[in-house]
Each structure stands twice: as C-alpha cells, then as structure tokens.
Structure 1
Amino acid sequence: MKISVIFPLLLLVCSGCTDQNKQIAKQQPFPQDINALLREMTATLTQQKFEMRLLQRENKEHAAKLEQQETELKKQETEVDKLKQQLKVGQVAFSASLLATGSGHVGPFPKQTTLIFKHVPTNIGKAYNPHTGIFTAPVRGAYHFEWYIGTHGGAQASGAVLVKNSEHIFIAWEHQPSHYGSSANGVTLLLEVGDVVFLRLWVNTKVFDNSNHHTTFSGHLLFTM
C-alpha cells in the first residue's frame, strides 16, 4: 500500500522537474545562437567601421580639394592684383612749368641748382614731385624726357642739364644777348625702379618763365622692360 502511494508522487515530481527544465531551456539561448548573434553583430560593427573610415576619407579628400581651390583662388587674386599694379604703374606721364604764378627769372646761382617746376597740369602716376622737382621711376622701363628753357637777352646765358641720379645726360643751352630766346632738348633713358631724373640750372645762368609757361619739363613712360 505504501509503495503504490509513493510511485505516483515520484512521477508527479519528475513531471514538474521536466516542465521547469523546459521553461529554463526556452529562456536561455543555446550557445550556437549566441555565436550567431555575435557573428552578426561583429559583421555589422565591421561594416559600420568601414563606412565611417570611408566617410572620413571622403571628407578629407573634400577638405583637401576645398583647400586646393582656395589656394588657387588666392593665387589668381594675387596675379590679378599684380596685373592691376603693373597697369597702374605703367601709366606714367607728367608735364610741368617752372613758375606757378607770376613771371621772372630764376638764377643765376654760383653752383648748379635743381630746378623745381611748380605748375603741374599733368602728373599721371604721381612719379613727379612738384616740391622737389625730382621724377622717380616707379617701374623699370624706357622713359622719354623733354625740357624747354626761355630767356631774355642779357649778360647771362641760359642752361639746364638733365641729370639721371648723379649723371649729367644732356643740356639745353641758349645765350641771347638781346630780345627773347629759347632752347630745348630731349632724351630717352632706360631707368630702373627708384632711379631719379631732374633738371639743374647751370652755373651762373638763368631761365625765364611767366604765365605763358616758356620753361617746361616733361616726361613719360614709353614701355616697361
């Protein structure tokens, strides 16, 4: 009688254990499922890393292209500025007469004296300085200069020499014992940037000017070199 009662109880316990094991088995994945999930996650992560590196490389290439374009643009802007500057300094011409107002003689002086031409109707490029009488070459090139001197008769002659830096180039000379006389000269010079050109009144000579502007100094750039 005792044996027959215990046996059904054992069956019931075993049955309960089996159901519980089935539920645990359902809740916990098998090792092969975990490996598959890990493989899938690893593959996804690898793909994401690859795409990220690809985007980074594309961004770097894009940034490099942008930087190169900016560099080229700056170079072009620099070249344009240079061309504008060359065009600007390539426009050089001036004309000036000796006296700004009134009339009279300048000189004579015991030594050569720089003539300052104060009436300046034209000074393109601002290379001529009306305060000093000196023309300064803004660009290397060939320049042409002309000067005219006027005088009234008298004991003193009239002479004006064109000077390049400290070198005497050509002179205009006139000695008119009576009445009015004039003289002129011209020259073409190769000048470097910064070279100066001006006129000096010759020793013990004089020049005349009035509102008709008889005594003048002019120059212009022929072409750059």
Structure 2
Amino acid sequence: MSALLGELKVEVRYLREDNEAQAAKVRELELQKTELDKLKEQYQAQSQELISIKAKTNTTENQVEALKREREVKQVAFSASLLAAGSGTVGPFNTHTPLVFRRVVSNIGNAYNPHTGFFIAPVRGAYHFEFYIGAHGHAAHPTGAVLIKNGEHIFIAYEHQNSHYGSSANGVTLLLEVGDVVFLRQWVNSRIFDNENHHSTFSGHLLFTM
C-alpha cells in the first residue's frame, strides 16, 4: 500500500511539473501572440502611413504639374506683320475681309494662328492688343481695319488721303474668356500697304489672368 502511495505521489509530482511546464508554454505563446498583435498593429499603421504619404506625394505632383501648366498658359504674347516678304498692297475688296498677318515675329504660347489671322484666348484674363495700318494715299480707296472680338466690332483704325504715305493705329484692352477669338478685318473697299519695313502689324499679349 505504501509503495502504491509512493508511486502515486511521484506521478502527481510529474503531472504537476508537466502542468507547470505546459502553463509556462501557454504563457510564452500568449506573450508571442501579444507581440505578434503589436507587430500587426504597427504594420497596419505603417501601411496606412505609406498610403497617406503616397496620396500626399500624388497631390504634390499634381499641384506641381498644375503650376507648370498655369505658368505656361500665363506666357502669351504675339506680334506679326502683314506680308510674309516683299512689298505690296492688300485689297481693295468689295466686302469686309479678315486680315492674315503672315510674318510672325513672336508667338509665345502659340495663341495666334498665322494661317487664319485669328488669336484664340487660351486662358481667361485681360489682354492688350495693338494694330498699325500703313497706306499709300488714293482718292478712291481709304485704309482701314477693324478689331473684331467674336464677331463684334470693337475698335477701328482708319485713314483716307489722296496721296503720299499715311498710317493709322489703335489699341484696346479686352477681358477674354477661354476660346474667345480676336482678329482684324479689312474695311470694305480699302487698301493696306506693307513692305520689308513692316508698316502694318498686329500684336497682343496677356496682361494677367482672372
């Protein structure tokens, strides 16, 4: 009987030690799980931070591109003379006729089209235009050109003398919307002179955006 009790005590001691060892392993596993949970939270936080950084980077890149485009659009200016080369007179015509200034001196922003004579506003803003019209005097034919905005008669430069050289000029500042068209229209029955000295010119530039 005493031997059996001794064996039971030994077995109980082994079981207790085994339970303690298993309990220690459980605690260790729980600690490991806690550490893993912390690492998982840190990873998720870092992932969110990376997503936020990426979003901010994309926003910054978009802002930089927008500023570049805005800077490019703000650089708008052109100047051109009537004849591409040589000397001559344009007109007279029996109707008002669009003028095409073919010799382009500058065309920053490419808003002026030397094939049509049209200036098309690339951005909303205040623009200033000037035009000079040269002429040889003629009893039957004056010299005149009208600045047109979207089909509307704005300002005219007009000269009429019987002989000798003459000229006329005008200028205007206009508020233009994107896509507005500005050009010069030759006055009916008029003549306009130009040569290598470039007496007849059309110029414009953006003052500021709005």
2:196 counterpart of 1:211:
yes
- Describe the SS at the equivalent of 1:59: helix
Report the Cα distance in structure 1 between the residues aligned to 2:189 and 2:12, rounded to whole angstroms.
Answer: 123
Alpha-carbon shift at residue 193 of structure 1 (Å) = 1.2
2:17 counterpart of 1:33:
yes
- Number of residues paired by the alignment? 208
Q: What is the letter of the counterpart of residue 202 of structure 1?
A: W
In the other structure, the counterpart of 2:182 is 197
Report if aligned partners of 1:150, 1:215 keep a CA contact under 8 Å in 2: yes
Runs of 4+ in 1 over 2 A off after TM superposition: 21-31
2:184 counterpart of 1:163:
no
In the other structure, the counterpart of 2:159 is 174
- Describe the SS at the equivalent of 1:77: helix
Q: What is the letter of the counterpart of residue 19 of structure 2?
A: N
2:137 counterpart of 1:137:
no
- Describe the SS at the equivalent of 2:100: coil
Report the Cα distance in structure 1 between the residues aligned to 2:7 and 2:88, rounded to whole angstroms.
Answer: 128
Report the Cα distance in structure 1 between the residues aligned to 2:165 and 2:88, rounded to whole angstroms.
Answer: 13
In the other structure, the counterpart of 1:107 is 91
Report if aligned partners of 1:151, 1:176 keep a CA contact under 8 Å in 2: no
Alpha-carbon shift at residue 23 of structure 1 (Å) = 9.4
2:66 counterpart of 1:82:
yes
Unaligned stretches of 5+ in structure 2?
Answer: none
Alpha-carbon shift at residue 26 of structure 1 (Å) = 7.1
- Describe the SS at the equivalent of 1:200: strand
Report the Cα distance in structure 2 between the residues aligned to 1:221 and 1:133, rounded to whole angstroms.
Answer: 17
Residue deviations 1:153-189, cap 9 Å, x none?
Answer: 1111111111111111111111121111110000000
Over aligned residue pairs, what C-alpha RMSD do you find?
2.2
Using structure 1 for the length normalisation, give the TM-score.
0.86
In the other structure, the counterpart of 1:15 is none
In the other structure, the counterpart of 1:57 is 41
Shift in CA distance, 26/147, structure 1 to aligned 2, threshold 3 Å = same
Shift in CA distance, 22/98, structure 1 to aligned 2, threshold 3 Å = same
2:103 counterpart of 1:119:
yes
Alpha-carbon shift at residue 31 of structure 1 (Å) = 2.3
- Describe the SS at the equivalent of 2:169: strand
In the other structure, the counterpart of 1:14 is none
- Describe the SS at the equivalent of 2:18: helix
Report the Cα distance in structure 2 between the residues aligned to 1:68 and 1:211, rounded to whole angstroms.
Answer: 62
Using structure 2 for the length normalisation, give the TM-score.
0.92
Residue deviations 1:15-61, cap 9 Å, x none?
Answer: xxx99x98999799732222212211211111111111110110111
Alpha-carbon shift at residue 150 of structure 1 (Å) = 0.7
2:207 counterpart of 1:222:
yes
Report the Cα distance in structure 1 between the residues aligned to 2:102 and 2:164, rounded to whole angstroms.
Answer: 26
The residue correspondences of 1:15-26 to structure 2 (distance < 5 A) are: none
Q: What is the letter of the counterpart of residue 187 of structure 1?
A: V
Q: What is the letter of the counterpart of residue 177 of structure 1?
A: N
